[in-house]
């Protein structure tokens, strides 16, 4: 099948060129049309057809929403979007670590800005033939040279809120200098209030517009505990765990491993999953009614199953799309359903977050209950 060979062909060209070429092919309709597999997940007032979504970073500019839906994903996250258009960091800024099934990027929120992206979203939402069951998140962040980054979040929420099924506050990218400081409770509370103000000014119902915070895999346990408490106090719907890491595991083999930027893909799987389990543990302890979206190293149905056992309501991927091609969503869902049948699971709620450790989640996924 030609689609299985696309990742192999992309190995011979620059990663960013390959990404742009993939966007072009999708816009031209050169891709497999895949039936959207039904494995529904309810999240507040939203019903997702299936729990597998495309993470922010692929469709930065809302160019291929329908096409991503056609690939069988349950949802897609646009962005990261900034108020003004932004070139991002100097090229080259994306590096494949083929031996490690990983990517390092230092993009720096390159996007066409909220006004142009808003127009595309408006056009898509007004299309009466669109698949209304396919949901859209919008990931927002400040411009690199902004004089008031907190105000940027408010402006983005105001301009884009009505076109999003949910909003993601990005305070964890390692590729914008100083951004991760906004994860501290002192600043994060101001960011949340700013986003809520923007949504209210746009007449968005805060109780019906889920807002998530995307956190770094490199944060300390104590900070995450305080972030979860803040989510409860400020009516935040949950966390996306996690963004890319600036750490480099000793197991990395690629000669690109020393490149500066955020590492994603297979090497992030254990680290992000352990953080997910810890977040789920704290959620239970504080009786926090929040949702957890897992991203980081999901390459197949097995890793997706481990994420659900560890507490994930929804799962996002990106790097595995680069390595396995456009049929990745169907492949993961089919494999995931095989595990569910093996373990006689008819409702994901019954197993979500049942594992108390990463090792236990792996063991259950391998051998069943």
pLDDT digits (tens, 9 = 90+) for 219-262: 999 999 999 999 999 999 999 999 999 999 999 999 999 999 99
Residue 37, pLDDT score? 78
Q: What is the band of 4 on the pLDDT scale with cuts at 50, 70, 90?
A: low
CATH number of the domain encompassing residue 240:
3.20.20.70
Q: Which residue has the tokens 């895949």?
A: 34
Q: How far is CA 239 from the centre of its chain?
A: 10
Residue 254, pLDDT score? 97
Identify the burial level of 19 via C-beta atoms within 10 angstroms of its C-beta, where 0-12 means exposed, 13-18 middle and 19 or more buried: buried
Q: How many domains does the chain have?
A: 1
**Percent of the chain scored above 70 by pLDDT?**
97
Residue 206, pLDDT score? 78
Residue 5, pLDDT score? 59
pTM of the predicted model, to two decimals?
0.96
Contact between residue 77 and residue 54 where contact means Cβ atoms under 8 Å apart: yes
**Among this protein's residues, is 331 annotated catalytic?**
no
Q: Which two tokens stand for residue 172?
A: 């964890």
With H, G, I as helix, E, B as strand and everything else as coil, classify residue 143.
coil
Residue 3, pLDDT score? 54
Q: What is the mean pLDDT of residues 112-134?
A: 94
**Catalytic residue from among 76, 172, 173, 237:** 173
| Cα→Cα distances 225→144, 149, 210, 364, Å | 28, 24, 20, 26
How far apart are alpha carbons 213 and 165 in whole angstroms? 15
pLDDT digits (tens, 9 = 90+) for 132-156: 999 999 999 999 999 999 999 999 9
Residue 9, pLDDT score? 60
How far apart are alpha carbons 137 and 348 in whole angstroms? 22
Residue 302, pLDDT score? 98
Q: Which domain holds residue 285?
A: 2-367
Q: Report the mean per-residue pLDDT for the chain.
A: 95
Q: Which two tokens stand for residue 24?
A: 């072009």
Q: Which two tokens stand for residue 234?
A: 């400020």
How far apart are alpha carbons 155 and 223 in whole angstroms? 27
Given a cut of 80, whether residue 11 has pLDDT beyond it is no
Longest CA span, the chain: 55
Q: How far is CA 87 from the centre of its chain?
A: 21
């Amino acid at each position: 099948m030609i689609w299985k060979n696309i990742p192999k062909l992309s190995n011979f060209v620059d990663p960013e060129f390959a990404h742009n070429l993939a966007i072009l092919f999708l816009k031209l309709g050169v891709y497999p049309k895949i039936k959207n597999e039904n494995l529904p997940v309810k999240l507040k007032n939203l019903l997702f057809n299936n729990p597998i979504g495309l993470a922010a970073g692929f469709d930065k500019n809302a160019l291929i929403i329908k096409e991503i839906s056609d690939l069988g994903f349950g949802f897609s996250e646009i962005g990261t979007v900034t108020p003004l258009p932004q070139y991002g960091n100097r090229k080259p800024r994306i590096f494949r670590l083929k031996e490690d099934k990983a990517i390092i990027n230092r993009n720096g929120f390159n996007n066409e800005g909220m006004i142009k992206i808003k127009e595309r979203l408006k056009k898509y939402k007004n299309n009466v033939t669109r698949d209304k069951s396919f949901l859209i998140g919008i990931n927002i962040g400040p411009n690199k040279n902004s004089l008031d980054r907190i105000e940027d979040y408010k402006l983005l929420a105001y301009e884009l809120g009505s076109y999003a099924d949910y909003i993601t506050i990005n305070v964890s990218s390692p590729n914008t200098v100083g951004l991760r400081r906004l994860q501290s409770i002192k600043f994060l509370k101001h960011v949340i209030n700013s986003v809520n103000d923007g949504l209210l000014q746009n007449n968005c119902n805060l109780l019906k517009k889920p807002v998530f915070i995307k956190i770094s895999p490199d944060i300390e346990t104590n900070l995450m505990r305080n972030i979860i408490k803040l989510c409860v106090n400020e009516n935040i719907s949950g966390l996306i765990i996690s963004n890319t890491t600036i750490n480099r595991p000793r197991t990395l083999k690629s000669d690109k491993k020393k490149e500066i930027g955020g590492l994603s893909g297979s090497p992030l799987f254990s680290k992000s999953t352990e953080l997910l389990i810890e977040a789920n543990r704290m959620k239970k302890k504080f009786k926090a009614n929040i949702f957890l979206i897992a991203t980081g190293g999901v390459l197949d149905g097995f890793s997706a199953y481990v994420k659900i056992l560890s507490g994930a309501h929804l799962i996002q991927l990106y790097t595995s799309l680069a390595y396995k091609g456009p049929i990745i969503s169907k492949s993961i869902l089919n494999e995931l359903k095989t595990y569910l049948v093996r373990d006689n699971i008819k409702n994901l709620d019954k197993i979500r977050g049942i594992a108390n450790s990463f090792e236990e989640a792996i063991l259950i996924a391998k051998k069943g209950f």
